[in-house]
Amino acid sequence: MIPESTAAAASRSSEQTKKSHDEANSSGAVNHSEDESGNENQQKNVRRRKRAHKGSENVKRKSARAGCSSVGRARGRRGKRRHVENVTLFEVITMGRSAMRAVIDDWIKAYVTDRDSSLLDLISFFIQCCGCKGVVTAEMCQSREDSDVMSKMVEELDEVASLQYKKFLAFPWILTVTWPMDTDSVEYPLTQSGPYGRWFHSEFCDFVSVLVAQCQHSVIFDSYLMNTLISLLTELSNSYIRAFRHTCTLAAVKLLSALVGVALSLSVGIENSQKLYKVPKTKTTRQKLTPQLERIQKKIAELQGKRVEIESMMDIVFKGVFLKRYRDVLPEIRSICVEELGLWMKLYSSEFLNDTYLKYMGWMMYDKTPDVRLKCVLGLQGLFGDPLLLPKLDLFTSRFKERMISMTLDKDNEVSVQTMKLLLLISRTCDDVLSPDDYKQLLQFVYSSQRPLAAAAGELLYLRLLSSGAHTSDSQDEINEEEAHKLQTSARLKSLLQFHQESELHKHVVYLVDSLWDCGGALLKDWAALTSILLQEPSSHGPGLTLAEQALLVEILVASVRQASEGPALAGRSGAKKALNAREKKIQIDDCTKLTEHLLTVLPKLLNKFSSSSDVVASLLRIPQFFIPECPEAENTQAVSSLMAELGAVLDFHSGPVVVEAAARTYLSLCGEETSCGSVARDARDSLVQTWVDKLTVLLEDSLQGDCFSADEEKTGDILSTLRKLRAFHNCHDLSRWSLFQLLSPLLSAGGAPPEVLLEVLQCLCFFMIWSLNVSSGTLTSREKAVAQRLQLRLFCERSHRCLSHSDHSVRHQAFLGVCDVLVAHSYQTHVWDPTSFGPLLHTPSPKLQRALSTFVCMHVFVGPDCDSQSRVSEGSEVERLEDLHRRRNLLAAFCKLIVHGVLEMSTAAEVFMYYTKYYNDFGDIIKETMYRARQTDKIESSRTLVLCLQQLFVRLKKEQESGGRAQAGVQTFTSIKELARRFALTFGDPVKFRECVVMMHRTGIEFVFQEFNQTPETPTPPLLSYLTILSEFSSKLLKPDKKTVFMYLQKHTAELFINLRDECWQPLVYYRASLLTAAEGEDAVSYVSSDRKPCPPNRSPFSKQKLEGSKSPCLFSPVDSKVSKGHRSKFSPSHQEKTTDVDLFSLPLEPAARGLNPEGFVLSSSNEAEDDTVEIEL
């Protein structure tokens, strides 16, 4: 029940209605949405042009008082008789479904007694659910076709009373909803965020469903309740007010869904009655129809009549609400309509599942909102999932098949995934719908970057593979079950291999395996079948696999092992589940145990069979990296020894980098302390390394004669292959006890060594030094060992320094990277060392090496597009260009690490920072991160580095301009330098945090321009004066008191100079002063006069518009007036301002100017400083 003040409004006089309007002024209003604001405002503007209402529309209802008074009296009598809680229907939805049923039953009883008043309760409920807290009034209507009545159906705004009216016909009443306008609020219950909005949506829908369910056996067929309710919802769903339209559209479609449930129950009743009617008719024909048959026949007719009436109601709601709202401007309304339409077609297919209704579903698949398209696809999934409904979907499928296939490319990931699942349903239920070309297009999604979409496409692919390989072994009766399973698995794998080879879309099998893992995990985890197929020889049962298919099957085997061990996390593919639950973790452990037990014994056989193929062997060598450490099978010494023997044989046969690096990583995983086979693996590894070291020692003794390397091609190849193996293993294992530094370091100083040998030697020595620095905490037990380590470090740096000038660019790059990595490792060692124990001796790189490293970066990283250096490649090849960029980025990152870790002075970074804007696309992220890390280390020093960078660039530019020669590679224009300064200024985020840094930059810049400058007639201006224009880019980062301080510091350096600010030569000073003064007043700095552009004439100067007409001084600025803040200028009289304006600090010495000025005019005076909350920084 609604409150008495609202329900009784239908029987009150016009004076009482007027009071209700006054009460409504203080209540809330129906909220407007931002989506409809444009439409609503347009209609409001049209209405405002009309004449405003002279009074409330309820004043005109005197004629309806008599007709409505009986309603109030009946409600009053009912209120005296009933003793229940005084709750409104709107409050019922907060009480749960059980309380909802009880209150609705009470409402039905009240409706039977007094239907008019109860209907007003229900009407007020829907109005309140729309978010409207106004008043509902009603007047009787005698005819629907009355033209006078229809002309009153308006939705108006009363500007005089500030009220909104919604007047509509809900026969036999004319209802008026009145509420105050509140355009600031945009929310109503359905749109509220958080749990409340979702809860209200659910409870509101339940209320409509329970209302129809409780009324279906009583008052629903009285031709009064449903007519009024449908009229109410239809009218409100057509309102231009979003709250009415959204809420009542939801109520209307849920009402139709509830009516569908009633129609279904009636159909079941008709069907049961017809069965009862047929039972007596099957008896002997001599018996006549009994009264029981007549009752059954009458009941059937009654149920059929009720069903027709219900279907008529559904048709009215569909035509009155759905057909007008399924194209609504609000996406939520369109989504509601489409979602319920799919439910109607699935539940009541006899009425709704035809092409008349299916066309709306097809049209809405083109909607611009993803949620609407998603609701269409989900609704179609329910239809195609029922085999009984498929015959009615033939025309729809043929008409909209192309659209469904194209929606797999939808920009919304969820829509594309659900569309793929829909096509999977169609493929399962309808064999002839999708053509081979359609399958070819859809199956390529197994390589999608979105894992849910790839998994859905993988399920479709697996379905196709199952159908192709299901009948392979049916004709072979003599083959046992195991052989049949093996042949069936072989047929499926062949189909999978053929698909991957024909697709030619992706080279990595791991993505294909990941897509098939959820649906075809049993096939991919059948490692026994996979290995048996790989090990089998061609026989009479089949020709076997080709070499290419065997290599591809090995990749599938390795990918399945990786997937079982690590999970679906793949680089470049998103949407995978990040965390595993307990069940998934148990499955993962069981799979790892099974693969370890099986492959530990089978892998030696596979390595033996494919030992001649380096690519296949490299793939097979990755398998032991996924073995579980605590495996009972790993304690089998014979199996482990067999595997170690095959690994040694592979390394004796192959020396390629791919195989050797894979073997090194495999030994690393097998030699762990926690593994069961660790001792056997470590012994095998040590034996291999000792063999290589002995072999290399003999080769180098024959090849190194004094300081010259001389070896024939065969010996050089043996040395190179042995060095590659040692380098790969030294990258993963600590080989310090073999003393490779003493063995290999002479090669760096020997002449005639091939670049390939030097490259491997540099990498080996780099790994040796890094391992030595990393594990020295347990090995440095005396000062002698620490001195020996520092000598090795210094010797390595010296030898690598010589290699920086080698003729081969790969040797130069490796020497640079090796020195940087070793110095960074040494810096880290000194930082993490325990001071209580014996520590390493500090090594500082020589100044010559530091300059060489800085020069190397400038020459090999920051190279122009027209440079003919060896590091540059032809621009015709995009792949080579990207590889070259990757190498240069590595070089720059290695150099920046030296700065960040404090190996090099921070001022060295100036050579890198100056290229920040010029090479921003290639190296901007690295340089910016270096700035950030350097600023974390020392804010002041990093700011000095930025200043040094700008000063160096400016000095180079001045030298070039003075020399008049051709432009050099490292010289930038004035505009680019100023842009670089602007970008530097943007890195200072919080002015308070970097206050001292910015002030220091201004102080240093002023000293850079004016220090050691003596003014003469030949040199009236400082030669570096234009630098002030660059420095002004940092003025916006100064706090207000700091701007005043910097300005005084500038005055101090310019006080003894004779300056005429109207001269063009002093324009940089003008601009810099303006950046300090106008910025302090909150004004924008004016445009500058660039020295590399044509200067503007004096009359076009941005400062020529200052109010200086009364000034006789040649100076364009008044020092006093410019320093007076806005808060203090009102204290001066006009005469005082004119007097102080004539003073020019720049044309007079400092002391007389200071004596001639009024101290009160300075903002830097003590009285004004007291008013500032900030603290001034001393310069």
pLDDT in tens, 605-646: 999 999 999 999 999 999 999 998 777 666 677 888 899 999
Band of pLDDT at residue 169, cut at 50, 70 and 90: low
- Specify the range with the lowest mean pLDDT, choosing from 551-555, 838-842, 945-949: 838-842
- Quote the CA–CA distance of 101 and 93 in Å, as a whole number: 10
Spatial CB neighbours of 284, under 8 Å, sequence gap ≥ 6? none
Band of pLDDT at residue 1161, cut at 50, 70 and 90: very low
Band of pLDDT at residue 281, cut at 50, 70 and 90: low
Nearest 5 degrees, angle CA 810-CA 811-CA 812? 90
SS3 sequence of 372-397: HHHHHHHHHHHHHCCHHHHHHHHHHH
Spatial CB neighbours of 789, under 8 Å, sequence gap ≥ 6? 772, 773, 776, 780, 840, 841
Q: Where are the beta strands (DSSP E) in 8-134?
A: none
Is 453 a residue whose pLDDT tops 90? yes
Is 1127 a residue whose pLDDT tops 70? no
Bridge-partner residues for 175, per DSSP?
138, 168
- Quote the CA–CA distance of 1080 and 903 in Å, as a whole number: 41
Residue with the larger pLDDT of the pair 846 and 507 = 846
Is 91 a residue whose pLDDT tops 80? no
| Mean pLDDT value of segment 704-725 | 88
- Quote the CA–CA distance of 35 and 21 in Å, as a whole number: 29
Instruction: Give residue-wise pLDDT tens across range 844-882.
Output: 889 999 999 999 999 999 986 544 444 444 445 788 889
Is 1079 a residue whose pLDDT tops 50? no
pLDDT for position 1115: 37
- Specify the range with the lowest mean pLDDT, choosing from 290-294, 322-326, 599-603, 1110-1114: 1110-1114
Is 1085 a residue whose pLDDT tops 80? no
Spatial CB neighbours of 861, under 8 Å, sequence gap ≥ 6? 888, 891, 892, 895, 923
- Quote the CA–CA distance of 767 and 773 in Å, as a whole number: 10
- Quote the CA–CA distance of 669 and 627 in Å, as a whole number: 8
Q: How many C-beta neighbours within 10 Å does residue 1041 have?
A: 20
pLDDT for position 180: 60
Residue with the larger pLDDT of the pair 912 and 1133 = 912
- Quote the CA–CA distance of 423 and 439 in Å, as a whole number: 10
pLDDT for position 46: 38
DSSP 1023: T
Cα 799 to its chain centre, rounded Å, is: 48
pLDDT for position 293: 80
Is 887 a residue whose pLDDT tops 50? yes
pLDDT for position 333: 95
Band of pLDDT at residue 65, cut at 50, 70 and 90: very low
pLDDT for position 1158: 34
Instruction: Give residue-wise pLDDT tens across range 186-235.
Output: 678 888 888 888 888 999 999 999 999 999 888 888 888 998 899 889 98
SS3 sequence of 164-225: EEEEEEECCEEEEEEEECCCCCCCCHHHCCCHHHHHHHHHHHHHHHHHHHHHCCCHHHCCCH
Band of pLDDT at residue 62, cut at 50, 70 and 90: very low
Average predicted confidence (pLDDT) for the chain: 78
- Quote the CA–CA distance of 277 and 449 in Å, as a whole number: 62
- Quote the CA–CA distance of 932 and 936 in Å, as a whole number: 6
8 Å CB contact between 586 and 564:
no
- Quote the CA–CA distance of 387 and 379 in Å, as a whole number: 15
Q: How many C-beta neighbours within 10 Å does residue 275 have?
A: 10
Spatial CB neighbours of 689, under 8 Å, sequence gap ≥ 6? 726, 729, 733, 735, 738
- Specify the range with the lowest mean pLDDT, choosing from 150-154, 384-388, 775-779, 923-927: 150-154
Instruction: Give residue-wise pLDDT tens across range 1093-1117.
Output: 333 443 333 333 333 333 333 333 3
Band of pLDDT at residue 334, cut at 50, 70 and 90: very high
pLDDT for position 420: 96
Q: How many C-beta neighbours within 10 Å does residue 600 have?
A: 21
- Quote the CA–CA distance of 192 and 597 in Å, as a whole number: 57
Band of pLDDT at residue 783, cut at 50, 70 and 90: confident
Band of pLDDT at residue 1119, cut at 50, 70 and 90: very low
Is 655 a residue whose pLDDT tops 60? yes
DSSP 966: P
Is 788 a residue whose pLDDT tops 50? yes
- Quote the CA–CA distance of 872 and 862 in Å, as a whole number: 11
| Mean pLDDT value of segment 160-177 | 64
pLDDT for position 835: 57
Is 678 a residue whose pLDDT tops 90? no
Q: How many C-beta neighbours within 10 Å does residue 429 have?
A: 15
- Quote the CA–CA distance of 1148 and 1142 in Å, as a whole number: 12
- Answer left, alpha or beta for residue 45, where phi above 0 means left and psi between -120 and 50 means alpha: alpha
Instruction: Give residue-wise pLDDT tens across range 295-322.
Output: 888 889 999 999 999 999 999 999 999 9
8 Å CB contact between 937 and 902:
yes
- Quote the CA–CA distance of 464 and 428 in Å, as a whole number: 10
8 Å CB contact between 104 and 211:
yes
